[in-house]
Structure 1
Amino acid sequence: MSETTAPRKTRTPFWDNARFAAIILVVAGHAIQRLTYDSDAAYAVYLAIYAFHMPAFAIMAGYFSKSGAPTSRQMARVLTDIVIPYLIFETIWSLLSWVIDGDPGIDPTQPSWTLWFLLALAIFRVALPYLALLRWPVLWTVAISVGAGYLPHIDATFSLSRALGLLPFFTIGWWLHQHDIVERHRLLRPRPWPLVVFAAAILLGALAIAWFFSDTWRDVGLGTWMFYRDDYSSLGLATWWAGGIRLLLITVALVLSAAFFVLIPRGQKRWTTLGQYTMYVYLLHTFVLYPFRETGILRDARPDWVWLPVMLLASVAIAVFLSSGPVRRVFRPLVEPRAAWLFADPPLAGREGRRTDPTGARRPER
């Protein structure tokens, strides 16, 4: 069958649902961050979110990544879908820092706020063809993640420390697709209710543990451990067994991610299509939340049972708004820049089959 008559692939609603649910967690984690200083409940929710939300994103990104030798179009997509948006928004944040804080420094090697994940994705995609050549690639990436924490010279420059820390999740996502695990085991079919209850119990149990032991988690700086950013000595644990903590966190993240995926609806919902546009939410929500982050608006906000639900609901509203059609039309030149001028072969910047989502969502040409 010729390319012009080949049928379009049917989208799987589950993945769009999962992407949109995950991006809501990203917004929520940032929205309640200022509440965590004075509220154990907010801190517990924060820890529960950070325990798995970026690992889940990395798993989805790996699932939709290819390990073969990249084509020229795929290499171009790394530039148009990741590197160029990163440079655009890093420049914007640098200019804002200059205007607000008087800091004129522009340093693209040190990503601002959430932009680190774009560079991590670029590293993932460049590394994957080499990882795919190895026997037991998942085990190798776990060893890389754990081992990187012992090396203080591996830092946040170009997001390298976080990319290496999260690399096992990306590789696991690729491995699941490579071995057709989801299809062979029919993991996207309707789930039996006992499994749904069990998955919900796992997530609620994690939330309960985060709450009951919140003072302990504050003392050990557990939230910082979940960033996968700092070496163990910087985290206050310069011992030979410090890597065991990261290995435990990787295990917990996998369990919670699995529970999260079990709870995701399998069918088409009214909000399913919004999961195709999480790049907009990811890059733009920080501007909405910046005033809350940099001011004392949410410090000492009481009572908890009012402000915490308010900010969580606001996170859902922000995600829906930023993925809406009007917002996409306004900010498309920044989030999905056309870059035909950059390439010796301009069609490489074409829109067909573009990946315009941090986790690799494909959309048809507009």
Structure 2
Amino acid sequence: MSSAIQTSARTPLPEGEEAGSIPTTRGKGEATRKPTARDPYFDNAKYFAILLVVMGHVWPAVIEGSRATRGLYMLVYTFHMPVFILVSGYLSRSYTGRPDQLKRLLTGVVVPYVVFEVAYTLFTRWGTDTFRSISLLHPTYLMWFLIALFIWRLTTPFWRVVRWPLTTSLVIATLASVTPAIGGTLEMSRVLQFLPFFVLGLSMKSEHFAFLRRRPVRIASVVVFAAAIPLLYWLTPTLYLSWFYRSQSVQEMGVGVGRGLFIAGILFLCTLVLTAAFLSLVPGSRRWFTALGAGTICGYVLHGFVIRGLSYLGLFEDNPWLATAPGRVVVTLAALVAMTLLCTPLVRRALKWVTEPEMAWAFRKDAPAKQA
């Protein structure tokens, strides 16, 4: 089993290459390009991360009264989105703002955001029987990640030329965490506070992932998770869930700037460690679930309808057994199965018209393929 990531961070991906695909490296510096190949490691990472996403979204419905579930919820929220963001950053290294890349950004991120933002708004109106205006500036529910990804990727050329990209992004994130009232429009508080993970991904090289896949690191990663679970169980009564969402400033959470920055700094370090541990444990070879990693966008945008739809229909309120220990296990397993099904190639093909539309009619035919 080859566990090393075979992409050179200094070599841009070939034109038209799908996100997540890699060149096959042979020797020291020579590469045989395989434009249609995908690195199974990243698809595996995305599949496991999307499973954590659905667990994080379904557990609030059954979390009441369970300290253990609350602790696991905090554990998941510590690193599941940073994993997605870091991997997205790594796979965005070749983005330079070329017309063809902008087209893919518009069709693969902006179009799904617009379509599903409208859909979730209408769905919320139906489910809550309350009016919610359609506003692309105020993402509904889980749609914040798509608009954040659009903003982050647009800024990629800047991070490629700035001298200290990670330090700069950390300064921006710190300022965002102590600046109240910036989180509403485009979820800018989240966009800026999660920014360092995207920039970290941009800055990483293949050897960094190869290091994470070394046996001693993987053993240490198991120890990290084994220690994190009881630690968060112990801390659950004293930690606010809002710390993990990064959607507010420290002042809005009722904490002084000094203490708030200290807590945010500790949380950031813990997130880095858990993210690294997670990526260390991801298998690097092709498995039965590898192909599902290519369909995580479908699972992401669709699973919210399932969870909120069941909530609107009163499933969790009318069945108190689901909030018992056996019920939580059933809910979790059902959510994992549902997410797996939503990531299948069949669903991906069915949603291709909105998640991967061609839209040739929307772009100028004389637009240059490359920058001069």
Interval of TM-score (by shorter of Structure 1 and Structure 2): 0.7 to 0.9
**Partners of 1:28 and 1:312 within 8 A in 2:** yes
Match of 1:181 among 207, 217, 222: 207
Stretch deviating more after TM superposition (260-269 or 294-303)? 294-303
Indicate if the aligned counterparts of 2:114 and 2:136 stay in contact, CA closer than 8 A. Answer: yes
Q: 1:47 offset after TM fit, Å? A: 0.4
In the alignment, does 2:121 pair up with 1:90? no
In the alignment, the residues of structure 1 paired with residue 212 and residue 226 of structure 2 have an alpha-carbon distance, to the nearest angstrom, of 22
Q: Distance in 2 between matches of 1:274 and 1:224?
A: 31
Q: Which amino acid aligns with 1:204?
A: A
- Letter matched to residue 203 of structure 1: F
Shift of residue 6 of structure 1?
A: 6.1
Q: Pick the aligned partner of 1:316 from 327, 336, 357.
A: 336
Q: Does 1:270 align with 2:270?
A: no
Q: CA deviation at 1:52?
A: 0.3
Is residue 2:183 matched to residue 1:155? Answer: yes
- Structure 2 counterpart of 1:341: 361
Quick one: which of 8, 18, 37 aligns to 2:45?
A: 18
TM norm structure 2: 0.84
Whole-angstrom CA distance in 1 between matches of 2:262 and 2:167: 15
Over 3 Å counting, the alpha-carbon distance change for 1:342 and 1:298 in structure 2 is: same
Q: Tell me the alpha carbon deviations over residues 55-94 of structure 1, each in whole angstroms, 9 at most, x when there is no partner.
A: 1111100101136631001111221111111000011112
Q: Distance in 2 between matches of 1:301 and 1:133?
A: 55
- In 1, the alpha carbon distance for the partners of 2:106 and 2:35 equals 26
3-state DSSP of counterpart to 1:132: helix
Residue identity over aligned pairs, in percent, reads: 31
Q: Could you tell me how far 1:104 is from its partner in structure 2?
A: 4.9
| Counterpart in the other structure of 1:33 | 60
TM-score by length of 1: 0.85
Per-residue deviation, 1:339: 1.9
Alpha-carbon distance, 1:348 to partner: 9.1
Q: Which of 288, 292, 301 is equivalent to 2:306?
A: 288
Give the secondary-structure state (helix, strand or coil) at the position aligned to 1:108.
Answer: coil
- 1:140-289 residue pairs with structure 2 within 5 A? 140-177=168-205, 180-182=206-208, 186-187=210-211, 191-192=214-215, 194-217=216-239, 221=240, 223-289=241-307
Partner residue of 2:75 out of 43, 48, 54: 48
Whether contact under 8 Å (1:20, 1:274) holds in the other structure is yes
Higher mean displacement: 130-139 or 261-270: 130-139
Q: What residue number does 1:326 align with?
A: 346
CA distance in 2, matches of 1:197, 1:345: 53
**1:257 is matched by which residue type in structure 2?**
T
Map of 2:126 onto structure 1:
99
Report the RMSD for the aligned CA atoms in angstroms.
2.6
Greater length-normalized contact order (CA 8 Å, ≥ 6 residues apart):
1
Structure 1 alignment gaps of length 5 or more? 350-366
CA spacing shift, 1:325–1:348, aligned 2, 3 Å: farther
User: How far apart are the structure 1 equivalents of 2:350 and 2:322?
Assistant: 36
Q: How many pairs align?
A: 338
3-state secondary structure, aligned to 2:364: coil
How many Å apart are 1:305 and its aligned residue? 2.8
SS of alignment partner, residue 187 of structure 1: helix
Query: Which is worse superposed, 324-333 or 142-151?
Result: 324-333
Listed as ranges, the matches of 1:298-313 within 5 Å are: 298=316, 300-301=320-321, 304-313=324-333
- Cα 1:12–1:188 change in 2 (3 A) is farther
Contact 2:54 2:303 in 1 (8 A): yes
Q: 1:207-238: CA deviations, max 9, x gaps?
A: 21121232222xxx1x2111111011111113
Matching residue's letter, 1:123: I
Contact 1:283 1:335 in 2 (8 A): no
Shift in Å, 1:307: 2.0
More off after superposition, 206-215 vs 258-267: 206-215
How many Å separate the matches in 2 of 1:305 and 1:53? 23
Structure 1, 195-204 or 14-23: larger mean CA deviation: 195-204
Shift of 1:132: 2.3
Which residue matches 1:57?
84
